Structures are given as C-alpha cells and as structure tokens.
Chain A
C-alpha cells in the first residue's frame, strides 16, 4: 500500500500563508496526471473535497486554496488563512488501489 505522510500539526497566524505537505512512499503520478487529492474536515463534520488531482479546485471552494506537486511530494496552500480554515486536512492517493489511502492528517491551528 502507498503510505502518505503528513506533519500532525501546523500553527499559523490569521492572514498568513499556510503550506501543508504530503509525501507519498512512491510516486502517485502517471505521466502528467497527479493522483493526489485533498480534503478539509472541521470538528464534528464530514470531510469535504478541496482539491482533486493535485491542483484542481473543487466546486465552491474559495480561490485562497491551491494545490501543487508531482511524483511523491505535494502541497496544499491556503493564502491568506482565515478563521474558518481552522480544521484538519487530509491528502489521499488514487495511484495504486485498492486500498485508496489517506495521510494521517494535518491539524491547522492558530499561532
């Protein structure tokens, strides 16, 4: 199984940029298609799709969210961070499956 590694916590100030990383144990890209996706989960709520295939913004997601990366290293950027963005963020790969695996999550906290 492909293992996805995320830092558990990231502290950020409101109005600043947050950069959340996800590293895969092997490449999750095929040619120019990067099979990494990002979700936001607020406390007590279900996850919500933010970014699909590394850099495509899901419907209704604000433009302050963006994604980048290829191969084994991917990044979710929130710029600028707003109070409503305090949540856990998960990456998920679909290069090798089943199983479709998730990272352990990064909890975005206020500094």
Chain B
C-alpha cells in the first residue's frame, strides 16, 4: 500500500524559513517523480514543485520560484521542501504527491494527508 506522510509544518512569522518532509513507503520511491501541491484555507489546489526520480530536473511555480527548494533523498525514501522568505500568502496545507507520467504529462496518483503551514505575525 502506497503511503506518503508529511511533517514539518507549523506557525511561523513572515520572512522566516521552514523545511517540510514527506516519507514514502509501499512503492519504489527512487523510480518516481514527486510533487508538492498546496491548498490555502477554503481554496483550490495549487501545484508548486516537481522533482524527477533522480533529481535531474526540478520545476517550480512562479509563486514560489527563488524562495522554495525541492529535494529528495532516495536512500531515505524522503521528499523535502525547503521554504524561505515565507509570506502570509504561503499559508496553506502542503501535500506531497506521487507523480505518474507519460513524458512531461503528469498527474498525481497518491497524496499524503498534508502538513499545515501558517505564516502570521
């Protein structure tokens, strides 16, 4: 059974940093691209980052480019999201999701339960 479990969220002040983790199990983590997707309170879904299975490529949404960094450690079956210069508009539930793709045509076949990040003074 595929399982994704995020952690690392919390309440932080604007301008601060936070690092999220997502531990994967039930599939060969090192063979799949992984994504971070967020959802602001009472809002829709926003894709924010992708990392290829071997970390060879990374992509970011414009809203987080230059502030957030996606990474992975295949030896630990763990995905990361390092978030710097946090803003109030980054307040959201952050989900990691397993990617399924045909070329660059990705969809998200399994999601973790999410970790909440609140940015407030």
A-B contact count, CB below 8 Å? 63
Interface residues on A, range: 20 to 34
Q: A90-B45, A100-B47 given as contacts; is B107 within 8 A of A46 (CB)?
A: no
Residues of B close to A98: CB separation below 8 A: 47, 50, 59-61
Contacting pair A102 B45 (CB below 8 A)? yes
B26 within 8 A of A: no
From the candidates B107, B109, B113, name the one contacting A45 in the complex (CB within 8 A).
B113
In this complex, the member of B44, B101, B111, B112 whose beta carbon has the largest number of chain A beta carbons within 10 angstroms is B44
Known: A46-B95, A46-B114, A99-B61. A92 touches B44 (CB 8 A): no
Residues of chain B lying within 8 A (CB to CB) of residue A103: 44
A contacts, CB < 8 Å to B: 33, 35, 37, 39, 45-49, 52-53, 58, 90, 92, 94-95, 97-105
Cβ-closest chain A residue relative to B60? A98
**A46-B112, A46-B114, A90-B45 given. 13 additional CB < 8 A pairs?**
A33-B105, A39-B45, A45-B113, A47-B111, A49-B110, A52-B100, A52-B107, A92-B107, A97-B106, A100-B50, A100-B107, A102-B44, A103-B44
